[in-house]
Amino acid sequence: MKDFRAPEIRNFAVVGHAATGKTLLCEAMLVCAGRIQRAGTIEQGNTVSDFHPDEKEHHQSVHATVLTSEWLGREINAIDCPGMPDFVSEPLSAMRVADFALIVISGVNGVETGADEVWAAATDYDIPKFLVINLLDRERTQFDAILEEARDHYGARVFPMTLPVDAGPGFRAVLDVMRSEVITFAEDGSGRYEERPADGVLKERVQELHRQLIDMVAESEDSLLEKFFEEGTLSEDELRAHVHDAVQKGLVVPVFATSGAKNVGVSRLMDFIAKYGSSPVDRATVQAATADGVPMTVSLDDGVTVAFVFKTMHEQHVGTLSYFRVYSGDVTTGTELYNASRGEAERIGQLYRVNGSHREPVGSLHAGDIGAVVKLRSTLTGHTLCAPSRRVVLPTVAFPAANTRGALVAVSRADLNKLGEGLSILREEDPTFEFHFDPSLGQTIVSGQGEMQLQIVAEELAVDISSVEVVLGDTGLTPNQGPTIASASIQLHSEPLRRAAAQARVYLLTLAAQHFDTKEIEQLTVRAGVVSLREGLSGASVSYAQLIGQQQVRLTLDLAAQVKSSEHYTVVGQSLPRVDIPGKATGELTFVHDMRLPGMLHGRVIRPPYAGVDHGEFIGNLLESVDESSIAHIPGIRAVVVIRDFIGVVAEREEQRVRHVCLETHRGGATDFL
């Protein structure tokens, strides 16, 4: 690809609720741009974005993936993020380096909680939002109702730049508001299209929308507003010239109608991104601090290198790849930079521009661009790399729910308790992942975590899935905070978890090798947590539980730990039921963050309980009372809904969601809950 400069670069995060079609939408963009000839599918596991074995296996995104293409002379860097709340650290990290967020919403289900979460994060990061109402080729789509719902959630600035013409199976055309044209897309999924002027009712609708858009855009600049009031309208050129500013200022939140699977409406979205989307120039100055914490700023045109690592991933045959964004200066292969977050020098090895798993080697990357570098020595996600002459630290990503901190992998059901005390894997540095077990807690909290996490550990250790429990301890800061899919599980990002499990495996096998008096752990096999010598070699068996005995073991997580290759995974027994499904199916409020009560405008979970698999024991402190007066001063609060251990706060607008409420619990006493 060409060597693009900041004004020509479009960095955006593709985010939203799970399974809204983000990955296929990105795939369609790559087809439009000619990066790939045919779109892969989720079911076949051959999309550019979901290339990681975890993603292929589970048919969903797990990692944020950078996808690059070129469109209308612009470099398009889309970062496709998973929607599952388990992996919320991915969109949060991606949005941190994005110049705008592309929030994808289901054209059937409408605005779901995942969209609200990423909207709030994009607001915190102060980046513009684009909305995409996708999946419009499905049965029972409801674009207009969802547009209204989006306005209800995100304000009257939400404005459709394209509208579907005949959504539903057979969806092929969109009405383009700025161009007053109906755009009909080819049925072959190529994204090619034909245009014709809108007429009839469509023309009337476009004219009305045009007027609304002019009203909104005119506010972007005083002189424009004056002209608008004098003349009652703006010319097409004026409108176009100011759409970019209006989007930057949040005066317009553009909405696009698409079907990623059918490649309908996608190229028009790309046109808009190329012409009016934010570039790094729109956020040319970012807040930073010196290594001593003195606030300062970093500017795009400072010339001295500053880059931020937003993702670290271990890839087979490559090693650890650090994905970063350059904020000023150039990052160049073969140079030495300084990791200011850590206070250590780093040598910059081979640099790449990335498109999924495809890596194009480049010599350097310029301010505003995104790329990856291999084999950094000590740099982790959230670290700042800079020229040795200029030691600055960019703000790291604030991950939510860092209050649930402890996690323990325990194996072998028979000796679970014994083993539970024995094995813990500790990681202090990785912000999304802290494995910790504190025996002083006495009672540990056991939960059937996301099935996927259990499976990862079970596969790696070759034990039955039913004998793996991910145990979440608490921190005393938030006594007995029950894990939820949305909060605790973000700590259990699959990649470090797999490595932790791999380390545990090697540790246990080393013990077993000593037990059998052999040096080679390759000579050992494991079935259902029982280690024996390979066929042809005699000797008894020994279980993990016997090996670990009463020991207290702490392993510091090593991200480079060698995981088993996936062909050596075995099917690890019966899978656990999805804990959220039964409650959802019966209408019980298992997860308040998915709850919509009649009349409820916006709900925000304060402290959901966790009933565990199949509604097991309640976990955490029993809720005694909620001090509603502690939030009474917040405007727009309609009601506090307390059902057993659930607390939901109903507010008029998402922005009014509550961050603190005082509550009293049975065991822990009064808590000011975050």
Interface contacts to Mg ion, rule CB under 5 A: 22-23, 61
**Closer CB to Mg ion, residue 22 or residue 353?**
22
Q: Which does 90 bind (CB under 5 to 8 A by kind): ligand GTP, Mg ion, none?
A: none
Q: Is 135 in the site for ligand GTP (CB under 6 A)?
A: yes
Q: Which does 135 bind (CB under 5 to 8 A by kind): Mg ion, ligand GTP, none?
A: ligand GTP
Q: Which does 412 bind (CB under 5 to 8 A by kind): Mg ion, ligand GTP, none?
A: none
**Closer CB to ligand GTP, residue 86 or residue 282?**
86
Three-state DSSP state, 207: helix
Q: Specify whether the CB–CB gap between 102 and 12 falls below 8 A.
A: yes
Smallest distance from the beta carbon of 43 to Mg ion, in angstroms?
Answer: 13
The phi, psi pair for 173, rounded to 5°, reads -130, 150
Three-state DSSP state, 523: helix
Q: Is 329 in the site for ligand GTP (CB under 6 A)?
A: no
Q: Specify whether the CB–CB gap between 105 and 256 falls below 8 A.
A: no
Q: Which does 384 bind (CB under 5 to 8 A by kind): ligand GTP, Mg ion, none?
A: none
For ligand GTP, which residue of 54, 137, 421, 469 counts as binding (CB under 6 A)?
A: 137
Smallest distance from the beta carbon of 82 to ligand GTP, in angstroms?
Answer: 5
Three-state DSSP state, 262: coil
Contact segment (CB under 6 A) with ligand GTP among 135-143, 178-186, 303-311, 352-360 equals: 135-143
97: region left, alpha or beta (phi > 0 left; psi from -120 to 50 alpha): alpha
Smallest distance from the beta carbon of 664 to ligand GTP, in angstroms?
Answer: 37
**Closer CB to ligand GTP, residue 269 or residue 386?**
269
Taking the mean position of all CA atoms in its chain, how far away is CA 362?
27
**Closer CB to Mg ion, residue 122 or residue 547?**
122
For ligand GTP, which residue of 69, 77, 134, 481 counts as binding (CB under 6 A)?
A: 134
Three-state DSSP state, 556: strand
Q: Which residue has the tokens 């394209």?
A: 162
Amino acid making up residue 262: K
Which helix (H) or strand (E) segment is 242 a member of? helix 236-248
**b/e for 194-204, b at 16 or more Cβ within 10 A?**
eeeebeeebee
Give the DSSP letter string of 110-129. Answer: BS-HHHHHHHHHHHHHT--E
Q: Which does 593 bind (CB under 5 to 8 A by kind): Mg ion, ligand GTP, none?
A: none
Nearest to 262, CA basis, from 24, 16, 14 = 24
Q: Is 356 in the site for ligand GTP (CB under 6 A)?
A: no
Pattern 294-323, binding to ligand GTP, x per CB under 6 A? ------------------------------
Contacts of 571 by beta carbon, 8 Å cutoff, 6+ apart = none
Q: Is 407 in the site for ligand GTP (CB under 6 A)?
A: no
**Closer CB to ligand GTP, residue 137 or residue 645?**
137
What number of chain residues touch ligand GTP (CB under 6 A)? Answer: 21
Site for ligand GTP in 2-21 (CB under 6 A): 18-21
Smallest distance from the beta carbon of 205 to ligand GTP, in angstroms?
Answer: 23
Beta pairing class for 553-556 and 423-426: parallel
Smallest distance from the beta carbon of 42 to ligand GTP, in angstroms?
Answer: 4
- What is residue 363's DSSP assignment? S
Give the DSSP letter string of 393-431. Answer: E------TTTT---BEEE--GGGHHHHHHHEEEE-SS-T
Site for ligand GTP in 73-132 (CB under 6 A): 82-84
Q: Is 487 in the site for ligand GTP (CB under 6 A)?
A: no
Q: Is 191 in the site for ligand GTP (CB under 6 A)?
A: no
**Closer CB to ligand GTP, residue 37 or residue 44?**
44
Q: Is 23 in the site for ligand GTP (CB under 6 A)?
A: yes
Tokens of 185: 């897309």
For ligand GTP, which residue of 189, 260, 280, 620 counts as binding (CB under 6 A)?
A: 260
**Closer CB to Mg ion, residue 112 or residue 434?**
112
What CA–CA distance (Å, rounded) separates 610 from 588?
Answer: 13
Smallest distance from the beta carbon of 85 to Mg ion, in angstroms?
Answer: 13
**Closer CB to ligand GTP, residue 135 or residue 445?**
135
Give the DSSP letter string of 657-673. Answer: --S-EEEEETTTEEEEE
Q: Which residue has the tokens 């059902």?
A: 643
- What is residue 178's DSSP assignment? T
What CA–CA distance (Å, rounded) separates 98 from 118?
Answer: 13
Site for ligand GTP in 37-76 (CB under 6 A): 41-42, 60-61
**Closer CB to ligand GTP, residue 63 or residue 242?**
63
What CA–CA distance (Å, rounded) separates 215 from 211?
Answer: 6
Smallest distance from the beta carbon of 55 to Mg ion, in angstroms?
Answer: 8
Smallest distance from the beta carbon of 106 to ligand GTP, in angstroms?
Answer: 9
Q: Which does 513 bind (CB under 5 to 8 A by kind): Mg ion, ligand GTP, none?
A: none
Q: Which does 19 bind (CB under 5 to 8 A by kind): ligand GTP, Mg ion, none?
A: ligand GTP
Q: Specify whether the CB–CB gap between 223 and 262 falls below 8 A.
A: no
Amino acid making up residue 29: M
**Closer CB to ligand GTP, residue 147 or residue 663?**
147
Q: Which does 134 bind (CB under 5 to 8 A by kind): Mg ion, ligand GTP, none?
A: ligand GTP
First to last CA, the chain: 46
Q: Specify whether the CB–CB gap between 470 and 492 falls below 8 A.
A: yes
Q: Contact residues for ligand GTP (CB under 6 A)?
A: 18-24, 41-42, 60-61, 82-84, 134-135, 137-138, 259-261
